[in-house]
A = this chain, B = another copy of it.
Amino acid sequence: MQSVSVITLGVTDLARSRHFYGEGFGWSPVFENHEIIFYQLNGIVLGTFLNAALDEDMQRRGSEGNAAFALAHNVADREAVAPLIERLADAGGTLLRAADAPPHGGLRGYVADPDGHAWEIAWNPGFTMDGEGNVLFGT
């Protein structure tokens, strides 16, 4: 499926970022806590995530500033995560994090494309995904 599910931007100050997206674009969060804010966009979810937490999640260091972002491609089944990560690595990608379970459940790993852009490959039962790959925050 040709789809992107989540765009995650690393940020240094959640309140400053929230002001920008809230007052600039006029967007309202669908979820927020002390380290991440999610916005429901058109069939995808935008996350703004504290840099240190994003680095920890991707298991990559020094990706602050412009570089601190991640794309996610969600799959429908837990069993689809590891084979896709393997195929991406075989196609010239660099494994950042082998598939394991995040605290919020599901399964995910990270692969960087040949230019260093991080892709999270995830099975996330907390998101609803339709047949075209559009995702909705929540179930």
Which residues of A line the B interface, CB within 8 A?
A: 1-4, 7, 9-13, 16-17, 19-25, 27-28, 39-44, 46, 63, 65-69, 71, 73, 84, 87-88, 90-93, 111, 113-118, 132-134
Question: What number of copies of this chain does the assembly contain?
Answer: 2
Contact A134 B9 (CB under 8 A): no
Supplied contacts A17-B113, A24-B93, A25-B73, 18 more A-B pairs, CB within 8 Å: A1-B42, A4-B42, A4-B44, A11-B114, A13-B114, A17-B114, A20-B88, A20-B92, A23-B90, A23-B92, A24-B90, A42-B43, A42-B134, A43-B132, A65-B115, A66-B115, A66-B116, A66-B118
A41 to B117, Cβ gap below 8 A?
A: no
